[in-house]
Amino acid sequence: MFGLGAPELLIIALLILLIFGAKRLPAIGTGLGKTVKEIRGIKKELKQDKEPGKEAESDEDSGPKEKSLESKLADKVIERVPGIGQAKKIKDKAEKIKKIVS
């Protein structure tokens, strides 16, 4: 798992326990679990929406090409998961400021 062994994971778990405290850990775990479940549901929904013959037809059309599955998933996550949209806006603003400063 990402090249982390048991000692590293134990240290990370202890740091999280110290930072957030024992009372907030169940709420954090619940929120994280709901987020993962929501992302999996969105991914499953997008796969069901995709039709196998649709890609071949879109290549012949002169209209705009469809978004990739990754960009559709990102858009759905931003819409449904609270806080992600705000984080994306902050990131975009930071990138604009970085370009101005550079």
Give the per-residue pLDDT at 52. Answer: 60
The answer to whether position 95 is within a domain reads yes
Judge whether 1 lies within some domain.
no
Structural domain count, the chain: 1
End-to-end CA distance of the chain: 37
Render each residue's pLDDT in the chain as its tens digit; 102 residues. 467 788 888 998 899 889 988 888 888 888 888 888 888 888 888 788 775 655 444 444 444 556 777 777 778 777 777 777 778 888 889 999 989 988
Q: What pLDDT is recorded for position 96? A: 92
Separation of alpha carbons 34 and 84, rounded Å = 14
Residue 10 lies in a domain: yes
In this structure, the number of other CB atoms found within 10 A of the CB of residue 54 comes to 10
What is the extent of the structural domain holding 43? 6-101
